[in-house]
Amino acid sequence: MVRLLKGVFRIDTMMGLINLEHEHDFLNELTYFRCGAAVPFAGRFRMIDFTLSNMAKSNISEVAIFTRNKYRSLMDHLGSGADWDLDRRHGGLFILPPDWNDPTDISKGDLSHFHNNRDYFERGKSDYVLISGSQFISNTVYQQLFEHHLETGADVTLLTTTYQDLLPEHNGCIKVKVAEEGSVASLTNDPKNPHVFSGVYVIRKSLLLELVDECIADYKNHFFMDGIKANLNRLTIQSYHYDGYSSIINSVDSYYRQTMALLETKSYKQLFSDGEHVLTKVGNQAPTKYSGESKVTKSLVATGCVIDGEVDHSVLFRGVKVSEGAVVKNSVIMQRCTIEPGARLENVIMDKDVTITKDQVLKGAKEQPFVIAKRRKI
């Protein structure tokens, strides 16, 4: 039994699962060589850090990750999981790449991950699984979601949120219509419905495996769509409403917009509220150095930068160098980029290790930022 005392639950009976199967390559140049979950975000993090931190801070002590390709950078980032306190004797981090050789395997899509790791799920002690992708950005803990799931006795509980201003990124999301007492009445793609499914949900492990078997037997290829959404009438599905700060990133356009949104003090303070840290791989950089000529306004700046030039409405990742006379505007500059003297950048997203040479001028449109791939010298 999970309930120990009234209102107190042991979350260690729930494991985390980050399923990256259906979110590849959505960021053009930024996902040429890495999966979306490993894309740098908000000055010092990677996309996956947000959901992984939420899990870690919820005392979920075992997290598995389904990943099919371009996962080198992801594995480098996650390492042993120590930076999320997930290097454990009991539980810990399990990255499950597609190294499997079952000749009788007929499973497709994310179902093959479940099928080929079935022994892993059966061996684990957790009774519940919290499943998430990496595109929902929030800084929270999942305890209340889990409590809600247990209290209502639902088969599945979806984490949903409401966006009053619907943006293009929400079009790609599943919209939720809720009937009385939080029970989910329909899951559609209604472009006008502001209630958005975050991709985070809780399900009992035994039910999960049962539905997986059914889907595979029926030659299906998408666990959520075919196993849960298609069984809406048969299962009791609850919605748990999350009202903290969040965003959804599933395109270059939304990546840029949601990055820039964090320059608003209110949003910044909401996402990175006091004491609630988002955990990430530690980089050990020095504090950022501003010289006598630097001019920096309305920007998010990570450590290890050396700034001699001008930066406005931009995000600088770790170890960026902005030389004298260089101007960076409305741009996102990733790790270890160098902007040489006199160069001018506007509306640019620059991947890691790029050098912009002296007096070079690069300009994208506000609606369509110019994306520069890794390690280029321009």
Residues that bind other proteins (CB under 8 A): 42-44, 263, 265, 268, 271-272, 277-280, 282-292, 294-304, 306, 311, 315-316, 319
Nearest to other proteins of 302, 337 (CB atom): 302
Largest CA distance in the chain: 68
CB of 63 to other proteins, least distance (A): 18
Q: How far is residue 302's CA from residue 207's CA, in Å, rounded to a whole number? A: 44
Cα distances (angstroms) measured from residue 8 to each of 4, 11, 68, 219 = 6, 9, 37, 41
Report the residue number, 73 or 288, with the smaller CB distance to other proteins: 288
Closer to other proteins by Cβ: residue 45 or 201? 45
Q: Hey, what are 132's tokens?
A: 């998430």
What span, in angstroms and rounded, lies between the C-alpha atoms of 296 and 350? Answer: 18
Least distance (Å) between residue 47 CB and other proteins: 15
What single DSSP character describes residue 325? Answer: T
Give the DSSP H or E segment for 231: none
Q: Measured between alpha carbons, how far is 120 from 85 in angstroms, rounded to an integer?
A: 21
Residue 323 beta carbon to other proteins: minimum distance, rounded to whole angstroms: 13
Nearer to other proteins by C-beta: 177 or 375?
375
For other proteins, the closer of residues 31 and 299 by Cβ is 299
Q: Which residues of 289-325 are buried (b: 16+ CB within 10 A; e: fewer)?
A: eeeeebebeebbbbbbbbbbbbbbbbbbbbbbbbbeb
Cα 348 from Cα 364, distance rounded (Å): 6
Q: Closest distance between other proteins and the C-beta of residue 43, in Å?
A: 3
Rounded distance between C-alpha atoms, residue 83 and residue 181, angstroms: 39
In the complex with other proteins, the residue whose CB is nearer, 311 or 348, is 311
Beta carbon of residue 60, minimum distance to other proteins (angstroms, whole number): 18
Query: Where does residue 369 rank: exposed (0-12), middle (13-18), buried (19+ CB within 10 A)?
Result: buried
Q: In whole angstroms, how close is the CB of 12 to other proteins at the nearest point?
A: 23
